[in-house]
Structure 1
Amino acid sequence: MSVIDLNADLGEGDGPWRLEPACDDALLDLVSSANVATGYHGGDALTMARTCAAAAARGVAVGAHPSYDDRAGFGRRRLDVPRDVLRAQLVHQVGGLVAVARSVGARVTHVKPHGALYNAVVHDEEQARAVVEAVAAVDPALVLLGLPGSQVLRLAADAGLRTATEAFVDRGYAPDGTLVARGLPGALVTDAREAAERAVRMATEGAVVAVDGRTVPVAADSLCLHSDTPGAAPIARAVRAALAAAGVEVRPFVTTRAPA
């Protein structure tokens, strides 16, 4: 039987960016990993605590989802932040979630950068080094989740950190295996059936059809869907059903054991 993790970016629910206010609880019933916003693009301390507790109660792995310091842009605008500043900001965010999670009996298992930072560290070595240094400083046992072939995963592996790769069921792919920028045609996949078909192919064949019709390889330990994608919960239900029908087991890529 094939195995795949299914993750969602959660705890982002303040401000105008939340399209479906009840979506987090619905998604927590369907995913195996939750990437929790750490306050710089969305969420706050209480939301972090509630999301971590809800995830732990369901056996869902908890990850930190840090961002550029950009609440106004929801972390989806590229910022040219000096490496030392970005490193300190990321330590602040990841370390804060580690403490909040522990306070509710959960454990942070992984780190996944959010939005524009996630895309920047695919190619930007300086910002990628800031991410790696921050994760290593907070807890070198944390797994860094990112795009296959990205600079940040290469540098993380060189630094002795564990890494995991992900693919996106609700985002369009360019022919080079990167994501189509939001706002461009094909950036989002909102049809539940299409997303489910993509998920199965990613999990079983390691491939996805790009926006130009070409098939591109995607090596994924985890499949991601976004909580602010329209119809996120129905998409997640369709994905889980399709994966089960294809004989693919959904489970976290890291243990969810809480701290003693």
Structure 2
Amino acid sequence: MGEAGRGNDGGTICVLLSFPFIFSPCLGCQASTPEYAFTVVASITVYGAAWLLLHLQGSPHMGSTQDVYDQLGVQDVPVFRNLSLLVVGIGAVFSLLFHLGTREGRRRQAEEPDERSPLLAPATARPLLLWKHWLREPAFYQVGLLYMSTRLIVNLSQTYMAMYLTYSLNLPKKFIATIPLVMYLSGFLSSFLLKPVNKCIGRNMTYFVGLLVILAFAAWVALADELGVAVYVVAVLLGTGCATILVTSLAMTADLIGPHTHSGAFVYGAMSFSDKVANGLAVMAIQSLHPCS
């Protein structure tokens, strides 16, 4: 009990020290510092490493046992163990390089008021919108429902994609790495088109177009008996549609907050909480209706 208690205390301390940095910009970063590019590189690295490990794990086996090693099973436990160790190791190395090689700039001190500084705020200042005021805004619930629904589509499709590929389509296990990679790349590339599309047709129509793409994916998957090579095409449709509705819903959330950034954390926290609860309930419902054999 004593060892377990000390381990629990250590974990609590680690969470307390690290969790606040999730919602903070990186130390030493400025407004012009690109953050999204290396997120893409990291995700591609994970999918690429998964494909390589699965490919190497199955390559030595030939003959009648090839089909066995093409399917996901208990023999792949070392593969995912090595993948997790590889990802954590690479992350630790680059985190160490970041902390050792990044210099923190000095923060500018706030200007001291002088005799020319106004004593009162200007009359055109916007009213302060506190967290409890959001509960009386209908748009808060509308955007929250939209964001929650978006997260349901994106998260559930990613959660059950591996099961669909291996158990429904009976595809080799390497597809659980290549198909998510195709989805991610297609979503990343389509995100560059969202800004001009938003200017042309607006956010609402952009979101509707993303939904149409996802409906095309769902109809194709539901009606087709076998996909074959077309599995890559439907992966592109799903990745493009999910990226479109996710980015657009985040933009709508930012539009909702607008200038009231002091209470924006409550808005993002409330929507994140609702989508986590909804996803948990959805997974429980799916597992109860279609339990794994």
- Verify same fold: TM over 0.5: no
How would you bin the TM-score normalised by the shorter chain? under 0.3
- Scaled by the length of structure 2, what TM-score is found? 0.23
Work out which of the two has the higher radius of gyration on C-alpha atoms and give 1 or 2: 2
Greater helix proportion: 2
